[in-house]
Amino acid sequence: MPFVSSRRILVIALAGAALLSALPQSFQTPWSGTLATVLWAPLVPGASALAWVRDRIRAPAEPYQGLPEELRTTREGRDQLQGELDAAQLRLGQLERELGELSGYRPANRAGWQPRLATVIERGAGRPAGLLGIDVGTVQGIGEGDPVVVGGNQIIGMIAAGGAENRSWVIPLDDRRCGRIDAIVLPEAADGSSDASGGAGAGGKKADKAGRADKSDKARNGTRATVLVQLVPQGNRTLVGELESPADVKPGDSVLLSDAAWRPAAQGMRIGVVESEGALDANPLRRRITVRMESDPLRVARVVVKVRVSGQVQGTRGTGAAK
């Protein structure tokens, strides 16, 4: 009988703990601290006795014990100044790193944008992972549609609508809320470097005749032509797209953003690399490619927002309100 009673008490206690854990944090905060103090009170005498025994067995060593008072005070002051110097050097190192990050985004004169360094302070939940909260907003000139990059030229997303004065939300590039993204696949040259001839096409579309002539020239020269592709975000750092079967695309090729709906400052930014390509079962005349982003939005701590400057023609893509 006592066993059954104790089991019933245990079940009631577990049910009560589960119920309390489901309550909002604002309800738990006022009384949880008081409850912890009450539960700890019976243990205070024992903890104090053990602390006294510990100090008696191994008394804490006083710094500079045995030195004259004046000399001891001088050395303690020196130690304090050394600690402040170390803290200042750590802060200087942090500022130098931030300056180094910003220097990689130094725009040319009249480029139409300016860099704004931001720290990721919040990450939304959901699948895909959700939005990223950063500590800059409308006060710093951040606006809807501004591209967000890391590492100098790796685009990871765009600013969503619904920001505040000192808070903005970033839609990761692998989030479906970014919509379809036009891009170009830049083939790798034989020496492992990207074919620079495709970079000039990042700003817009060429005429069909010129495109065919360009492809013919590249075929004669033994190099691969750039390929236009429309990507669809899939989450987990991946985007997928479809190509015509004759298109020459290989794993490892670079993928650059080339979408007129995005801001001019985003054109030519690196999305990632081709991870795989293969036949499309539903349509044998087309192939499917998978692109993996070079940077993981879930792991970045600091980003740079390319803030537009008045007078620049902007893309027209809307992002919708942040959720």
> For the purposes of burial, counting CB atoms within 10 Å of the CB of 314, is it exposed (0-12), middle (13-18) or buried (19 or more)?
middle
The pLDDT confidence band at residue 293, using thresholds 50, 70 and 90, is: very high
The pLDDT confidence band at residue 255, using thresholds 50, 70 and 90, is: very high
* Closest by CA position to 186, among listed 246, 226, 242: 226
| Confidence at residue 64, expressed as pLDDT on a 0 to 100 scale | 73
Token reading at 63: 């710094």
| Confidence at residue 101, expressed as pLDDT on a 0 to 100 scale | 66
For the chain, the average pLDDT equals 77
Instruction: List pLDDT tens digits, range 52-79.
Output: 888 778 766 677 777 888 888 888 888 8
User: 1-15, 194-208, 223-237, 270-284: which range is least confident on average?
Assistant: 194-208
Whether residue 9 is predicted with pLDDT greater than 50 in this model: the reply is: yes
Whether residue 271 is predicted with pLDDT greater than 90 in this model: the reply is: yes
Whether residue 1 is predicted with pLDDT greater than 50 in this model: the reply is: no
Token reading at 173: 């590039």
| Confidence at residue 224, expressed as pLDDT on a 0 to 100 scale | 66
| Confidence at residue 280, expressed as pLDDT on a 0 to 100 scale | 79
The answer to whether residues 114 and 153 touch, using CB atoms and an 8 Å cutoff, is no
Query: For the chain, which domains are there?
Result: 112-312+314-318 (2.40.10.340)
Dist CA 288 CA 233 (whole Å): 14
Higher per-residue confidence, 176 vs 7? 176
Which DSSP symbol is given to 194?
A: B
Q: What is the mean pLDDT of residues 4-10?
A: 73
Sign of CA dihedral 321, 263, 302, 174: positive
Which DSSP symbol is given to 216?
A: H
Q: Is 192 left (phi over 0), alpha (psi -120 to 50) or beta?
A: left
Dist CA 105 CA 216 (whole Å): 36
Residue 90's contacts (CB-CB under 8 Å, 6 or more residues apart) are none
Distance linking the first and last C-alpha atoms of the chain: 55
Q: What is the pTM of this model?
A: 0.57
> Beta strand 181-186 with 168-172: parallel, antiparallel or unpaired?
unpaired
Dist CA 274 CA 255 (whole Å): 7
